[in-house]
Chain A
Amino acid sequence: MYTTEFVDVPLGELLYRVQTLKHQGFRFVQMCAETTEAGIDLLYTFYDETVDNAYNLCVYGIDEKSEVPSIQELYFAAFSYENETHDLFGVHFTNMKLDFGGNFFNVAEEAPMTIITPEMKAERDKLAKQRAAAAAKARKAAEEKQAAEADAAADAKVAAVEAGKSAGAVADKADPAAAAGDAAAKEAERAAKMEAKLAAMDPEKAAKVRAALAAKAAQKDGE
């Protein structure tokens, strides 16, 4: 079984690459074009008989103003493909050995293969919407994960402060007034930090955290 290879080539290098393949003994198989949103793509296929390898050169994004060098001097068999691509896709070739001047395919419409049918357009729009929805979903999931991690970190910090506070209360028994002043200052600082975090958080999540803190405070007051 033969192998297949696709290689991207800039338009400026096309002729040089085809020349190289010709010197390596490749046989010309075909050339075809395709209409994409970024322009016309060209695909040149060559075949190496010695190792049974089908080698494809892909040239992307040819626009109306681009001029593609003809390969007829190297492979005369390309004349039918180049004239066809000119007539059906409107691609301009330079230095063509056999140029039919747009009369190879007698089609009523100019460059008919560049027109996208409504069916294909609808499918492409549908695909674009599906992709946008999937991307939005992924972004939201990432944000939620980040917020949950921030919550967990905040809770851990609060717990650490609480633990420190109870330890401090034992040590401050000797000077109750100073200890009460320090505790109030720390409490105010902690409340300010928490408020800043809550402001940066998703409102729904922030409301939940606030409710949890309020419940905790109420429980503490009850004790």
Chain B
Amino acid sequence: MATRSVIPFGPQHPVLPEPIHLDLVVEDEKVVEAIPQIGFIHRGLEKLTQKRDYNQFVYVAERTCGICSHGHGYGYVSATEKLLGIEVPRRVVYIRDILEELTRLHSHLLWLGLLADAFGFEALFNHCWRLRETILDIFQRTCGGRIILSILVVGGLAHDIDDADLKAICDKLDSIKRDYLEIMDTMMNDVSVKSRLCGVGVISFEDAMELSMVGPFAKGSGIEHDIRSTGYGAYGDLDHFEPIISTECDCYARCKVRAEEVIQSIDIIKELVSKIPHDGIGQKSKAKVVPEGQSHVLIEQPRGEAFYYVRGNGTKYLDRFRLRTPTSQNLGGLVKALQGVDLADVPMIILTIDPCISCTER
């Protein structure tokens, strides 16, 4: 009978980009069970609603994460505007969604680079991150910040992005697309990449449904769930939107979904720029208090569906702000995906859920 042993994995590990700890129960190099643990970087951001008023809290929400910071700000302001009954101009909605898609681009390029680095393809890593830098340059030119954009306010935008800048974004994206297609060809067809990803960390469609998985992790198992298809924000104005899915259910499928979402996001941005209305950028809410009540919104972040909930109590502070990240939802799927895999494949599988533990712990 094989000997069972427990291998502690993380929170500090060369291949782990995020501080998650796993107790891996292994039997002859095969993982029998994986028990995750988080809590190393819990910052109590949700509790800060009791110290910062609803307008100030936008800045806290944006600082939840260093990758999808715009998305967290977007989710927070949308939920608060819903509670306050504010309807923002369509231009605001368009610009928020354009920035969200740019965030998806840089998040996916970052992830593809990290994955390439994890399986030892350094050149691919360099190229992915080179392209990501271009997206960060766009952020810097249009918003001032490269990571924390600070363009959002409850009720609108802090400043506009003029049409010339939007046109420049489209031109830049055309050149990125050309370069990216070359990288994608290597990423999807190279033998060494396929040998590390195909058939590894399989999660069946049924399991993915059972575990309520979200984002590319779920789409890689054939689940056609993408909250953008409900048409929230400016997505309802797109001529056509269909979630990208893959039915291979393995690490390769998740990689393929993200790789194809990059192209899809570029197309979405160009379409939104071509249709953007000119009806103003709204203004910061002047309401002194948030009314009693509750509201929530769901938005599609790069890692999957995220949930934002706010509850007002008649004061300027919110009673509760809840942020549920895609990673929280995918932890159950990660536990399942790690069962029965080789120990050497564990880092790869953890990476394919694209965990963001700092968002998850808040």
**Could you tell me which A residues sit within 8 Å of B by CB distance?**
1-2, 4, 6, 27-30, 32, 34, 36, 43, 45, 47, 49, 52, 54, 56, 75-77, 79-81, 87, 98, 100, 103-107, 112-113, 116-117, 119-120, 123-124, 126-127
Q: How far is the CB of A175 from chain B (nearest CB, A)?
A: 72
Besides A34-B319, A45-B296, A79-B332, 4 new A-B residue pairs in contact (Cβ under 8 A), listed by A number: A6-B294, A80-B331, A80-B332, A117-B50
Which residues on A sit within 8 Å (CB–CB) of B212?
Answer: 27-29, 75, 77
Contact B296 A54 (CB under 8 A): yes
CB-contacts of B296-346 with A (<8 A): 296, 298, 305, 307, 309, 311, 313-317, 319-320, 322, 324, 328-329, 331-333
Classify the interface of chain A: helix, strand, loop or mixed.
Answer: mixed
Residues of B close to A56: CB separation below 8 A: 296
Contact at B296–A4, with CB atoms within 8 Å? yes
Query: Chain B residues with Cβ under 8 A from A75's Cβ?
Result: 212
Q: Which 7 A-B pairs have the closest CB atoms?
A: A105-B39, A120-B50, A30-B324, A123-B315, A77-B332, A117-B50, A106-B39
Report A-chain residues with C-beta under 8 Å of the C-beta of B39.
87, 103-107
> Does B236 make an interface contact (CB < 8 A)?
yes
Residues on the B chain within 8 Å of A45, using CB: 296, 307, 309
Inter-chain residue pair count (beta carbon < 8 A) = 110
CB distance from A135 to the nearest CB of B (A): 14
Chain B: minimal CB distance from A93 (Å): 16
Contacting residues, chain A, for B307 (C-beta < 8 A): 29-30, 45
A100 touches B332 (CB 8 A): no
Q: A112-B47, A119-B317 are in contact. Are A105 and B227 (CB under 8 A)?
A: no
10 CB < 8 A contacts A-B: A2-B227, A4-B296, A43-B294, A80-B38, A80-B360, A104-B39, A106-B40, A117-B47, A123-B316, A126-B315
Residues on B with C-beta less than 8 A from A119 are 50-51, 317
Q: How far is the CA of A28 from the CA of B329 in the complex (A)?
A: 9
Evaluate contact between A104 and B317: CB separation under 8 angstroms. no
Tell whether A1 pairs with B231 under 8 Å between CB atoms, given A54-B296, A107-B42. yes
Find the A residue at minimum CB distance from B314.
Answer: A127
* Contact A30:B50 (CB < 8 A) given known A1-B230, A80-B328, A112-B44: no
**Is the beta-carbon distance between B230 and A2 smaller than 8 angstroms?**
yes
Show the binding face of B for A, using Cβ within 8 Å: 35, 37-40, 42, 44, 46-47, 50-51, 209-213, 225, 227, 230-232, 236, 294-296, 298, 305, 307, 309, 311, 313-317, 319-320, 322, 324, 328-329, 331-333, 360-361
In the docked arrangement, what's the CA distance between A16 and B149, Å? 45
B232 touches A105 (CB 8 A): no
Instruction: Point out the residues of chain A lying under 8 angstroms from B227, CB to CB.
Output: 2
Give the Cβ gap from B283 to chain A, nearest Cβ, in Å: 24
A32 pairs with B47, CB closer than 8 A: no
- Once the chains are docked, how many angstroms separate the CA of A98 from the CA of B40? 19
Of chain A, the residue at the smallest CB distance from B305 is: A29
> Is A76 touching B332 in the complex (CB atoms < 8 A)?
yes
Q: For A6, list chain B residues within 8 Å (CB).
A: 294
Q: Nearest chain B CB to A53's CB is how many angstroms away?
A: 10
**Distance of B318 from chain A, by nearest CB (Å):** 10
Given contacts A2-B232, A28-B212, contact A127 B315 (CB under 8 A): yes
Q: Enumerate chain B residues within 8 angstroms of A117, measured Cβ to Cβ.
A: 47, 50-51
A76-B47 in contact (CB<8A)? no
Cα–Cα, bound, A117→B46 (Å): 13
Q: Which residue of the partner chain B has the closest CB to A3?
A: B230
- State the CA gap A104–B333 with chains docked (Å): 17
- Across the interface, A124 reaches (CB within 8 A) one of B210, B225, B232, B313, namely B313
Partner of A116, one of B38, B40, B50, B324: B50
User: Shortest distance in angstroms between A127's beta carbon and chain B's nearest beta carbon?
Assistant: 5
Chain A residues contacting B333 (CB-CB under 8 Å) are: 77
Bound: A52/B225 CA distance, A: 11
Residues in chain B near residue A29, CB distance under 8 A: 212, 298, 305, 307, 324, 329
Q: B322 touching A32 by the CB < 8 A rule?
A: yes
Q: How far is the CB of B5 from chain A (nearest CB, A)?
A: 21
| CB-defined contacts of B209 to chain A, threshold 8 Å | 27
Q: Complex: how many Å from CA A188 to CA B319?
A: 64
A103-B37 in contact (CB<8A): yes
Q: A77-B211, A120-B317 are in contact. Are A54 and B298 (CB under 8 A)?
A: yes
Please, which residues of chain B bring their CB within 8 A of the CB of A47? 298
- Closest chain B CB from A23 CB (angstroms): 13
B228 to chain A, nearest CB (A): 11
- Given A30-B328, A80-B328, check contact A105 B313 (CB 8 Å): no
The distance in angstroms between the C-alpha atoms of A6 and B82, with both chains bound, is 15
Closest Cβ–Cβ distance, residue A70 to chain B (whole Å): 14
> Contacts of B38 on A, CB cut-off 8 Å?
80, 104-105
Q: Roughly how many angstroms separate A47 CA and B295 CA in the complex, as a whole number?
A: 15
Closest to A121 in B: B50
In the complex with contacts A4-B295, A29-B298, A52-B230, A123-B332 CB distance below 8 A: no
Can you name the residue of chain B whose Cβ is closest to the Cβ of A6?
B294
Please measure, in the bound complex, the distance between the C-alpha atom of A147 and the C-alpha atom of B231, giving whole angstroms.
Answer: 59
